[in-house]
Structure 1
Amino acid sequence: MSIDLLGRYYAAFNRSDAAAMLDLLTDDVVHEPSQGAVREGKQVFAEFLDHMNRCYKEEVINPVFLVTPDGGHGAAEFMLAGRYLETDGDLPPARGQDYRLRVGTFFQFRDGLIARVSNHYNLADWLAQVR
């Protein structure tokens, strides 16, 4: 079930379908980004997705999913192909730059939903690609 859940989560991600992604999360989901403050709650995660969909167009390529035997935790590793669409805060100016990053994400599951999303990638690599 959890591997199927991750497959549906990233399929929705690739469609930029925030509503479908949010349907797979607990109301009290915890989002731990690679950089920045931890976000708690589905509404805050929805605001994050809206921001990301405005600033970036990204696609997960060839994800590999792992799930613990008890189904409580999981992980995904994938290549992320993206285009930087709109300048994001104090990051370098967006000019439609393309980038590729290896990403690792850790998950916690509860009641058939995703309760924690913890993303990890190399920010220095991304900055070098978009500068």
Structure 2
Amino acid sequence: MSALETVKRYYESFNNKNWGGMLELLHPEVRHEANQGDVRIGIDKFREFLGKMDEAYEETLTDMVFFTEPSDSRVAVEFTVNGIYKKGEEGLPEAYGQTYVLPAAAFLEVKSGLISRVTTYYNLPLWIELVSKPKND
């Protein structure tokens, strides 16, 4: 399977909330560089991250555009995050089911058919603005 096919399966699994399918495409020592925060190394840390994300957010990715390079080892992806903020996290606004639509991108590296790096970028101040609208009671 090419790097592009691997990455497409990874995001298809994400949109289907098939966390096991995502994890089986990761290298055991995957390097996860989220937009904010610490770098996570390894599948166990990634699994923990997915669990926290699943509790706090309901997200689907749309408008996906994939970019590859000649060595078939790196893939870039541009997409739109369509989300619901379900559970607040420390240092972030209160969650009460706010919806958001946010542009984002990721860069992935594939080695021996497995994803060895996932680096994600999005505009955190914009996301905070989108979910900080007053609650309508």
TM-score normalised according to structure 1 size: 0.98
**Residue number in structure 1 paired with 2:129:** 128
Q: CA deviation at 1:45?
A: 0.2
Instruction: Tell me which residue corresponds to 1:13.
Output: 14
Question: Would you identify which runs of 4 or more consecutive aligned residues in structure 1 move more than 4 Å?
Answer: none
Q: Indicate yes or no: 2:43 matched with 1:42.
A: yes
Measured in 1, the distance between the counterparts of 2:7 and 2:61 equals 12
| CA distance in 1 between partners of 2:83 and 2:18 (Å) | 16
CA–CA distance in structure 2, aligned partners of residues 89 and 20 of structure 1:
29
Q: Does 1:113 align with 2:102?
A: no
For residues 48-105 of structure 1, the C-alpha deviation after alignment (integer angstroms, 9 at most, x for no partner) is 0000011000000021111111111110000010000011122100010000111110
Partner of 1:86: 87
Q: Per-residue displacement from partner, 1:17-53 (whole Å, max 9, x unpaired)?
A: 1111000000000000110010000000000000001
1:95 aligns with 2:96: yes
Distance 1:125 1:74 in 2: 25
Q: Distance between the aligned counterparts of 1:127 and 1:38, measured in 2?
A: 21
2:56 — aligned with what?
55
SS at match of 2:55: helix
What's 1:73 paired with?
74
Give unpaired runs (5+ residues) of structure 1. none
Name the SS for the 2:120 alignment partner.
strand
Unaligned runs of 5+ in 2: 133-137
Q: Which amino acid aligns with 1:112?
A: G
Paired positions, count:
131
TM value normalised by structure 2: 0.93
Distance in 2, Cα, partners of 1:19 & 1:107:
18
Paired with 2:3 and 2:63, the residues of 1 have a C-alpha distance of: 17
